Amino acid sequence: MYRTHTCGELRIEHINNTVTLSGWVQKMRNLGGMTFVDLRDRYGLTQLAFNMETNAALCEQARKLGREFVVKVEGTVQERSSKNPKMPTGDIEIKVEILSILNKSVTPPFTIEDETDGGDELRMKYRYLDLRRNPVRKNIELRHRMAQEVRRYLDAQKFIEIETPVLIKSTPEGARDFIVPSRMNANQFYALPQSPQVFKQLLMVAGYDRYFQIVKCFRDEDLRADRQPEFTQIDCEMAFVEQNDILDTFEGLARHLFKNILNVTLEDKFPRMAYDQAMTLYGNDKPDLRFDMKFVDLTDLAKQKDFVVFNQAEYIGGICAEGCAGYSRKELDAMTQFVQKPQIGAKGLIYVKYNEDGSIKSSVDKFYTEEDLMAWVELFKAKPGDLLLILPGERNKTLPQLSELRLEMGERLGLRDRKKFVPLWVVDFPLLEWDEDSQRFHAMHHPFTSPKTEDVPLMETDPGKVRANAYDLVINGVEIGGGSIRIFDEDLQKKMFDLLGFTPEEAQDQFGFLMNAFKYGAPPHGGVAFGFDRWVAMFAGIDSIRDVIAFPKNNSGRDVMIDSPSPVAQAQLDELFLKMVQPK
RNA sequence: GGUCUGGUAGUUCAGUUGGUUAGAAUAUCGGCCUGUCACGCCGAGGGUCGCGAGUUCGAGUCUCGUCCAGACCGCCA
């Protein structure tokens, strides 16, 4: 037998018990006459004590252990003569009687400690060692508990978990597909799913009216800290529901997870905000509502004087940064540089200081009187001591720039508290967005999203104005999930494909199976998918989803541990009728 | 596809206007030490300065190219 207990469970009440423990050598402390060894497993640390006086041979053996050796010990639990209140097992130690080395270890390339000395790259290469560290293990365990709670909640709501295929068909819409060549079907390819979208809709047609799956999805696009080529969704679909039924059901899921994992009670009804309003007030379709700082539209008021920068601007908007009137020239310059970064791209930043003493100082004093500026201050509802930050320009460029500025100010003012959680449903997304490159409309959500009934006539006259029955769940400015009520009518779906620029033949070729299915009694249905990795990262209080994935890929989509992707043998290529081409 | 930052001991980093033998901490190894738990003390080994070219009497340092890593933009229905 390898163990009677884990390394995390022995306490003072186990004194005099004879126990067997197995684990890894975390640390050795050789004091000469005595040697202490910290033994580690998933559950904790237990101190092993060896004494030269009582058993010299055993103590000599213990001194030869190295970091990360795997050992089994048998011995007696004894009370420590000097206890360690920082450790759960700090009151006891094992007086070892038998020590067996189960496996040796070479010296690990970095220290297996909470604060490791290893850099990211090295820890990725030796991920199996990094996973031994507490902070990483905690994230993986958190992920497990969240997955279990998702299943518990959805099962109680009569959802059933159904697996869908991974080798499916490539479709032109959306992200780039990963493709898999077929050996048995020469020159034909499977694609890995970007999501199980069409399968879950087919399950609705099949009458499985509440489906879910915690499932891998694949998108061959460039990566970020919060994006991986393969990622996990909580994928859900319901039949015989309207938008509100879905929002209520999944608000329930969110509340369940927050309560059972973080012990955070969220409000009973999540606020809902139309997409247009989110863009106007926050310049962003996923506003962070942990703080207010709404945009104020200054366009009309500011255009009354001889200031050409404003008079030429389509839109002038600003935010009120509370208590920032005391900002120095240096701080204001830093803010200006922030909005001028290429990623943000504003030309400049205008400020108005509403000082504590009621006086006003601005960067546009030459063009506006104190009375003019006082009218701005009133429009912003600013208090003495506040600072107005204003950006002019094209509306659809300035709103996102102002959003970046708002988030930066929120950060500087400490308003983005990681312990605070503010959920929001953003609803009424546009059905389509115009794509300049291809000179056609793209589906903003996906091609199966239903337009709002009252907007259907606009599909003929002004497709860009059509709103969709689509919604995103946003928490703290992070898009946690999104979904829509689907089209379940064959004719409407055809019209949608037509708007997206598919010929009837192309639509039939790509999505014929779905439209055929709709001929056989498709129920009204809709669903939602949550980015599970992002949700776990948020609960873990971190920004990178890599830290909540056991074996993540790097920036370039490589797994540096197994070194993939990698070339394959010529014979494999031949079997698949593939030929290599040298990249330019 | 683009912008920016970085690459020096096993590891994390420092390295001055371009100038002697490239340092520190930690890890590793050896010695001492009977209550440590970031043990302590003494000592030792450990470097193609990512790679290639160039400028120079002289390059870790400057220039160009290249590879790798990270962040961001484009992209991601």
Nearest to A426 by CA among A570, A273, A565: A273
Query: CA A26, C1' B48: Å apart?
Result: 34
A90 touches strand B (CB under 7 A): yes
A181 exposure class (CB count in 10 Å sphere: 0-12, 13-18, 19+): middle
A390 Cβ contact list (under 8 Å, min separation 6): A298, A302, A316, A317, A318, A349, A350, A351, A352
Contact A69, A112 (CB under 8 A): no
A463 touches strand B (CB under 7 A): no
A478 touches strand B (CB under 7 A): no
Residue A485 has phi, psi (to 5 degrees) of: -80, 135
Nearest to A194 by CA among A223, A213, A214, A216: A216
Tokens of A480: 């946690």
CB neighbours (10 Å) of residue A57? 8
- Going from the C-alpha of A154 to that of each of A148, A204, A210, A319, A434, the distances in angstroms are 10, 16, 9, 41, 37
A222 touches strand B (CB under 7 A): yes
How many Cα neighbours within 13 Å face the side chain of A131? 14
A81 touches strand B (CB under 7 A): yes
A558 touches strand B (CB under 7 A): yes
Within residues 223-252 of protein chain A, the ones with CB less than 7 A from nucleic strand B are 223-227
Type of residue found at A192: L
Contact A529, A195 (CB under 8 A): yes
From the alpha carbon of A529, which nucleotide's C1' atom is closest?
B77
pLDDT for position A584: 64
The topology (CATH level 3) of A136-273+422-570 is BirA Bifunctional Protein; domain 2 (3.30.930)
Contact A154, A253 (CB under 8 A): yes
Query: CA A339, C1' B18: Å apart?
Result: 38
Tokens of A253: 């899921």
Residue A103 has phi, psi (to 5 degrees) of: -165, 145
Q: Is A581 helix (H, G, I), strand (E, B) or coil?
A: coil
Nearest to A35 by CA among A67, A68, A58: A58
E strand segments, A104-209? 160-161, 179-181, 189-191
The Cα angle at residue A445 between residues A443 and A449, in degrees rounded to 5: 85
Tokens of A514: 């779905």
The Cα angle at residue A183 between residues A180 and A189, in degrees rounded to 5: 35
Q: Would strands A470-475 and A478-485 be described as parallel, antiparallel, or unpaired?
A: antiparallel
Alpha carbon A61 to chain centroid distance?
48
How many Cα neighbours within 13 Å face the side chain of A343? 4
A29 touches strand B (CB under 7 A): yes
Alpha carbon A296 to chain centroid distance?
30
Distance in angstroms (rounded) separating the CA atoms of residues A574 and A347: 56
From the alpha carbon of A122, which nucleotide's C1' atom is closest?
B11
Within residues 152-191 of protein chain A, the ones with CB less than 7 A from nucleic strand B are 173-176
Contact A7, A39 (CB under 8 A): yes
Query: Which residue bears the tokens 């969220």?
Result: A266
From the alpha carbon of A447, which nucleotide's C1' atom is closest?
B77
- ipTM entry: 0.92
Give the CATH number of domain A291-412; options: 2.60.40.4070, 2.30.42.10, 3.40.228.10, 3.30.1360.30.
3.30.1360.30
Model-level pTM? 0.94
Q: Please report, in tens digits, the pLDDT of each residue of chain A (584 residues total).
A: 999 999 999 999 999 999 999 999 999 999 999 999 999 999 999 999 999 999 999 999 999 999 999 999 999 999 999 999 999 999 999 999 999 999 999 999 999 999 888 888 899 999 999 999 999 999 999 999 999 999 999 999 999 999 999 999 998 888 999 999 999 999 999 999 999 999 999 999 999 999 999 999 999 999 998 899 999 999 999 999 999 999 999 999 999 999 999 999 998 899 999 999 999 999 999 999 999 999 999 999 998 888 999 999 999 999 999 999 999 988 898 899 889 887 888 888 999 999 999 999 999 999 999 999 999 999 999 999 999 999 999 998 999 999 999 999 998 899 998 889 999 999 999 999 988 778 889 999 999 999 999 999 999 999 999 999 999 999 999 999 999 999 999 999 999 999 998 999 999 999 999 999 999 999 999 999 999 999 999 999 988 899 999 999 998 999 999 999 999 999 999 999 999 887 76
Q: Is A460 helix (H, G, I), strand (E, B) or coil?
A: helix
Nearest to A2 by CA among A22, A30, A16, A19: A22
Query: Which residue bears the tokens 């247009």?
Result: A276
The topology (CATH level 3) of A12-103 is OB fold (Dihydrolipoamide Acetyltransferase, E2P) (2.40.50)
Which residues partner with A389 through β-bridges?
Answer: A319, A351
From the alpha carbon of A36, which nucleotide's C1' atom is closest?
B36
Nearest to A506 by CA among A449, A447, A453: A447
Contact positions of strand B to protein Cβ (< 7 A): 1, 3, 10-13, 26-29, 32-40, 68-77
**H runs (alpha helix) in A359-503:** 370-379, 395-412, 458-461, 490-499
A82 touches strand B (CB under 7 A): yes
Crossing angle of helices A197-205 and A504-518, rounded to 10°? 40
Q: Is A456 helix (H, G, I), strand (E, B) or coil?
A: coil
Which strand (E) or helix (H) includes residue A280? helix A275-282
Q: Would strands A92-103 and A70-79 be described as parallel, antiparallel, or unpaired?
A: antiparallel
Query: CA A185, C1' B15: Å apart?
Result: 61
What DSSP state is assigned to residue A258?
A: I
Q: Domain coordinates of chain A in residue numbers?
A: 12-103, 136-273+422-570, 291-412
How many Cα neighbours within 13 Å face the side chain of A479? 15
Contact A252, A159 (CB under 8 A): no
Tokens of A198: 């069409």
Contact A325, A357 (CB under 8 A): no
